[in-house]
């Protein structure tokens, strides 16, 4: 289908749907359009009504305590056991006898809520039929019922229970695929309506979006916990869970119903990516480049396997050789991985890490820091620790020229031309009739010798 044909279908369908919504939008109409033209169709349909919307009336009527029609049906549990104890049901008799008939089309709402299986995003979108009032009133009522039920459920879960028995992550009932699609489709449509609504009238719609987001999040805490639990042997489960939860809103905003994906599949990929990124950023108190974290993870897994074979903890060289034999991908330079390996073992400030895994005993940060006695020759000369410096020169036994060059470089011999300044390599070269490269070479050789005797 060409772009012109798609646009014609879109404009013709929009013109057929009167403002009294007597004409119906069909799933086939939506499916026939590309993603771009679906968004165009929504933008044309979900305009802010000229007669405005009675937000105050919605608040006064929909959110009354007596307008709660959702309940937990334990009799729906067929296997009489397992984790899930039943499903959520709607009390349609109570709904029909409510005072909402003048506000919401009850028959359309009942049909919207009774669909359980094999429903597409397009069918749910068609059921709203481009009607902003029905979209807002129905989703206000539905989201308020779910929020109220979940609050009541959490309250009951914490009453007269042992602490170990309280679990706010795992729910005793399923969030069905049709329920999930209903909330995701309505969220997309309300966001489109907000884009076409004056700013002063957006607050009510934004609050409905927030309620929908909290419901979807609440029903996906089990998925978040599942992803976070896979990495809790490396870092705290609570940290992983919080990181995933904080990014859930971003995942919701990225999700596109026009791609036809299941939200659980899509969110699992992003949640796993968030957890892995957090793991890479927080693997150690000492920052490790992200490109090395994957290499380090493979190295530690190999170390763990080798430990089982040798029945003792292998040293770094043994594990490196084992990785080479097994063709495990590692950095080209052994020294690079060794630095990352040592840095990753620092997991706490002054005691062993609480989350030790099977790879090794982690080293406290304080043990990895230099002590006062670990003074380097360079720091001693810069800080003018004269006694220590003189002792170093005596032990190093440098030739007089080299020793004098080192002393000039580190201000142990005052600069005759620049007060309180060291000699530059160029100035030293001129004094001794050498090139700058020769001076640099002498300094490197001399410092190496000073480090050897330090």
> Higher-confidence residue: 343 or 374?
343
Position 12 scores a pLDDT of 54
Among 334, 368, 402, residue at a domain's last position: 368
Q: Determine which helix (DSSP H) or strand (DSSP E) holds 87, and give its type and residue range.
A: strand 87-90
Q: Is there a single domain that holds both residue 231 and residue 274?
A: yes
Q: Is there a single domain that holds both residue 164 and residue 257?
A: yes
**Rounded Cα distance, 310 and 301, in Å:** 14
Q: Determine which helix (DSSP H) or strand (DSSP E) holds 111, and give its type and residue range.
A: helix 106-114
Q: Is there a single domain that holds both residue 175 and residue 195?
A: yes
Residue 161: pLDDT band by 50, 70, 90 thresholds? low
> Higher-confidence residue: 318 or 15?
318
Residue 245 lies inside a defined structural domain of this protein: yes
> Higher-confidence residue: 229 or 329?
329
Q: Is there a single domain that holds both residue 268 and residue 205?
A: yes
Measured CA distances, 320 to 310, 317, 325, 359, 395 (Å):
14, 5, 9, 15, 37
CATH of the domain at 419: 1.10.10
Residue 183 lies inside a defined structural domain of this protein: yes
Mean pLDDT over the full length of the chain: 78
Model confidence over 366-421: pLDDT tens digits?
A: 444 444 444 555 555 555 567 777 878 888 888 888 888 888 887 777 766 665 56
Position 410 scores a pLDDT of 79
Say if residues 109 and 141 touch (Cβ distance below 8 Å).
yes
Model confidence over 21-59: pLDDT tens digits?
A: 445 788 888 888 988 999 999 999 998 886 778 888 888
Number of domains in the chain: 3
Q: Is there a single domain that holds both residue 315 and residue 429?
A: no
Position 285 scores a pLDDT of 63
Residue 195: pLDDT band by 50, 70, 90 thresholds? very high
**Rounded Cα distance, 34 and 1, in Å:** 9
**Rounded Cα distance, 30 and 27, in Å:** 5
Q: What's the gap between Cα 13 and its chain centre? A: 40
Among 368, 395, 417, residue at a domain's last position: 368
Q: What's the gap between Cα 342 and its chain centre? A: 27
Among 326, 350, 368, residue at a domain's last position: 368
Q: Is there a single domain that holds both residue 126 and residue 64?
A: yes
Q: At what angle do helices 334-344 and 290-310 cross, to 10 degrees?
A: 80
**Total residue count of the chain as it appears in this document:** 454
- Contacts of 153-156 with CB under 8 Å at 24 or more apart are 153/72
Place of tokens 């809520």: 113
Q: Is there a single domain that holds both residue 389 and residue 276?
A: no
Residue 207 lies inside a defined structural domain of this protein: yes
Burial of 128 (0-12, 13-18, 19+ CB in 10 A): buried
Residue 358: pLDDT band by 50, 70, 90 thresholds? very low
Q: Is there a single domain that holds both residue 186 and residue 330?
A: no
Residue 148: pLDDT band by 50, 70, 90 thresholds? very high
Residue 285 lies inside a defined structural domain of this protein: no
Say if residues 423 and 440 touch (Cβ distance below 8 Å).
no
Residue 50 lies inside a defined structural domain of this protein: yes
Q: Is there a single domain that holds both residue 125 and residue 176?
A: yes
Residue 12 lies inside a defined structural domain of this protein: yes
The domain in which residue 354 lies consists of 290-368
Say if residues 87 and 173 touch (Cβ distance below 8 Å).
yes
pTM more than 0.85 = no
Rounded mean pLDDT of 83-98?
83
Q: Is there a single domain that holds both residue 381 and residue 251?
A: no
Q: Is there a single domain that holds both residue 84 and residue 139?
A: yes
Sign, Cα dihedral of 345, 348, 350, 353: negative
Q: Is there a single domain that holds both residue 129 and residue 258?
A: yes
* Res 9 pLDDT > 70: no
């Amino acid at each position: 289908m060409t772009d012109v044909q798609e646009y014609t279908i879109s404009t013709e369908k929009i013109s057929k749907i009167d403002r009294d919504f007597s004409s119906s939008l069909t799933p086939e109409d939506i499916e026939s359009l590309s993603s771009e033209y679906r968004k165009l169709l929504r933008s044309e349909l979900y305009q802010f009504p000229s007669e405005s919307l009675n937000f105050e009336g919605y608040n006064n009527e929909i959110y009354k305590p007596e307008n709660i029609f959702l309940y937990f049906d334990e009799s729906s549990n067929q296997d009489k056991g397992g984790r899930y104890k039943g499903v959520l049901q709607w009390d349609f008799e109570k709904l029909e006898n409510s005072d909402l008939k003048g506000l919401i089309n009850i028959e359309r709402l009942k049909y919207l809520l009774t669909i359980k299986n094999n429903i597409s995003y397009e069918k749910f979108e068609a059921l709203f039929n481009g009607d902003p009032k029905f979209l807002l009133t129905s989703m206000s009522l539905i989201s308020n019922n779910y929020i109220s039920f979940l609050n009541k459920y959490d309250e009951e879960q914490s009453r007269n229970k042992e602490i170990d028995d309280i679990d706010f992550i795992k729910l005793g009932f399923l969030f069905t695929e049709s329920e999930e699609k209903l909330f995701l489709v309505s969220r997309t449509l309300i966001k489109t309506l907000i884009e076409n609504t004056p700013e002063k009238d957006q607050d009510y719609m934004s609050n409905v979006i927030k309620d929908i987001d909290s419901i979807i999040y609440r029903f996906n805490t089990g998925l978040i916990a599942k992803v976070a639990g896979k990495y809790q042997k490396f870092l705290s489960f609570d940290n992983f869970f919080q990181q995933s939860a904080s990014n859930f809103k971003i995942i919701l905003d990225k999700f596109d119903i026009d791609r036809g994906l299941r939200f659980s599949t899509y969110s699992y990929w992003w949640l796993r990516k968030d957890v892995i990124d957090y793991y890479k950023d927080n693997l150690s108190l000492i920052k490790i480049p992200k490109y090395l974290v994957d290499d380090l993870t493979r190295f530690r897994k190999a170390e763990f396997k080798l430990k089982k074979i040798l029945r003792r903890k292998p040293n770094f060289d043994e594990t490196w050789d084992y990785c080479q034999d097994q063709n495990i991908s590692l950095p080209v330079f052994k020294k690079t991985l060794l630095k990352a390996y040592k840095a990753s073992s620092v997991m706490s400030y002054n005691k062993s890490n609480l989350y030790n895994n099977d790879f090794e005993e982690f080293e406290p940060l304080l043990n990895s820091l230099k002590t006062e006695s670990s003074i380097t020759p360079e720091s001693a000369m810069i800080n003018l620790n004269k006694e220590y410096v003189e002792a170093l020169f005596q032990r190093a036994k440098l030739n007089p020229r080299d020793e004098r060059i080192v002393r000039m470089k580190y201000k142990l011999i005052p600069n005759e031309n620049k007060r309180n300044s060291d000699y530059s390599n160029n100035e030293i070269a001129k004094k001794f009739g050498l090139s700058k490269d020769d001076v640099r070479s002498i300094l490197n050789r001399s410092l190496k010798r000073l480090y050897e005797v330090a």
